[in-house]
Each structure stands twice: as structure tokens, then as C-alpha cells.
Amino acid sequence: MENIVAVILAAGRGTRMHPFSTHYPKPGTLICNKPLLQYSIETFRELGIREIFVVIGHLGHVLAQKFGDGSSLGVKLQYVEQAQLLGIASALGQMEPHISSPMFVALGDIFFKTDNLSSMIDLYRQRNASAVLAVKYEKDPSAIRRNFTIRCDETGRVRRVIEKPRYVDTTLKGCGLYLFDLPVFDAIRRTPRTAMRDEYEITDTIQIMVDDNLPVYTSDVVNWDVNLSTPADVLVCNLFELKNRGLERLIGKNTNIHPGAELSNVIVGDGAIINEPITITNSVIFPGTVVDAKSNIDRFIITPEHRIDCRLYANDGAMME
């Protein structure tokens, strides 16, 4: 059985994630007190993958310090720095000197819930595929417009991928999780820089593979996913994961919570302090945060540096105090 490695692309700056992007690399954002990147690492470990490469950039040293060589998680982590942030295809292209086997590739800023991910490997082997794309049948057209859509023929082979389509005529959404064989690197070398975002898009790379008549397939393995683009997405993912665990609240270590405080649908990080007998609902308190508010709190993210009111969230970001 051939070896499969994993690559997690975790270099993005995340400008729309302000203020998180100032203090946290986006893949280091906490979801129920666990860094987002750790969920991906553990997912690959459960598949039996032990060799994982992490492409880092903005605040990448924070991730390297946190996870080290990966031994604490039962994997081997290697870090590759992306000096210029020129898109997903560019980031993956940097991996060519390090990779000599098929690879899972995951975007480090997406929170996935997957089902039977090993079926991607089965499909890859059964069809002798060059790529398998993790997909979801998406009911929300706006979610498809933020990602990419896929058109397949009657045999299930991918014939067309469209990045951030303006007009949505299918429910098949790409989800930022891929299984590639080595020919992807040949396609990356021929991937043009786009006019839309002045980047090298992985969807263009995939289309080149399709046009070269390489077998590319989809696998419906994603049950739920959110691309962490804005601070409000952090709250959505935290509350989803809290519910997924069957919990009403999650309290970290060494916290100090006023005995009169009432918490419902709340995640409290390690070392946080809540000094007042207030009611907190549907919120996230980051590690080391001191909450001195006198009034009740609902749908807030509170960090040591900022209070982010997600009720006032708009297209241009959350309102900060």
C-alpha cells in the first residue's frame, strides 16, 4: 500500500479576521479551546497518516511553537514557510521538493465535519484517480458563491470547476479538502495568475488536470464546513462544536468564575476570570481574559485584547468595542 502524506495550508494573513489576525494565526483560532489546526491534524491521524506538512506564513512561528514536531499528537510535523502569499496553488507548489507520494491537502482556515474520509482513498485507488475532491451538496447558493462549484459527467468524472461562481446552477460545492497524486505539480506549473484575485487558484490547477484528461472525481464526505473568514465565523464554529459534543458549556483549566454567574452555550478558555454575577449566553471567552462587565452578555467573543459583538455583525465585519 502506497504511503499517503498530508499537507495543511496555514499561511494566510486573514485580513477579514481582524482583530484576531493581529494576535492569532487563523489556523490557531480556538474552537472549544482547541486550535483549528489541531482538528485537521487529528483527522489525518485517525486516517493513519503520520507525516504531515504545514505551510506557514503570517504568525507561523506561533503555530510551530504550539505544535512543535507533532510528537505530542502522535504525528510527525514539518513546517514549510510561504514567503509570498500568492494563492493556494502557489502554496502547494512549494511542496514539490518535499513530496513523493499522494497527499491529502486541507485548507487550514476551514472547520470541517467529515464522514468516512477514508472513502476518498478508496475512490482514489479504485478509479486510479489523479485527484479526488471532497464535496458537499450545499443548499445555500451564497455558500457556493464563496467557494467553488463542480460539474461532473454521467460517469462521475469532474468536467468543470468554477471558482466563486456568480451564477449558481448546481448544489455541488467544493470544500477545500483534496486528495492529489503527483501530476498536480505539473498542472501547478502551468496555472496562470488570475485577474480576479491576482493569485494562483487551485481550481485553475484542477481544471488543467481535467483538460489533460486526468481522472478527477468527487467524494461527498463533508457534512458541515465553515471557512473562517470573519470573527463571527469563530462564534458559529464554537457553538456548533459545543452542541456537537452535547454540552451546554465548556470551562477551561484554572478559571475563576463568580458563583453568581450563569453561563449557557458558553466556552471559557484556560485562566479566564469572570468577576461579576452576570448571565453570559452564546459566547466565547478566550484564555486569559478578565470579564468585568456589569451587564449580561450575549453573542460576544471576548479576548484579552477585544470585545467583539457578533449581534452587530455586518458584511464588513463585527463591531468592536
Give the dihedral sign, CA 138/140/143/149. Answer: positive
H/E segment holding residue 319: strand 317-320
65-110: pLDDT as tens digits: 999 999 999 999 999 998 777 889 999 999 999 999 999 999 999 9
What is the longest distance spanned by two Cα atoms in the chain? 65
What the block records as the C-alpha cell of 62 is 506561533
End-to-end CA distance of the chain: 55
Eight-class DSSP state of 146: T
DSSP 41-72: HHHHHHTT--EEEEEE-TTHHHHHHHHTTSGG
Which pLDDT score is estimated for 277? 96
Cβ within 8 Å of residue 63, ≥6 positions away: 10, 25, 27, 28, 35, 37, 54, 56, 79
Distance between CA atoms of 287 and 271, rounded to whole angstroms?
Answer: 6
Residue corresponding to grid cell 510535523:
77
Task: Tell me phi and psi for residue 319, to 5 degrees.
Answer: -85, 130
23-74: pLDDT as tens digits: 778 899 999 999 999 999 999 999 999 999 999 987 888 999 999 999 999 9
Which pLDDT score is estimated for 155? 86
**pTM exceeds 0.85 for this model:** yes
Which pLDDT score is estimated for 311? 81
What is the CATH code of the structural domain delimited by 248-320?
A: 2.160.10.10
Which pLDDT score is estimated for 272? 98
> What residue ranges of the chain have pLDDT lower than 50?
1, 315-320
Distance of CA 236 to the CA centre of its chain: 13
Q: Domain residue spans in the chain?
A: 5-227, 248-320
In this chain, the answer to whether the domains covering 5-227 and 248-320 adopt an identical fold is no
Distance between CA atoms of 107 and 212, rounded to whole angstroms?
Answer: 25
Give the dihedral sign, CA 68/71/75/78. Answer: positive
CATH class assigned to 5-227: alpha beta
The count of other CB atoms within 10 Å of the CB of residue 157 is 16
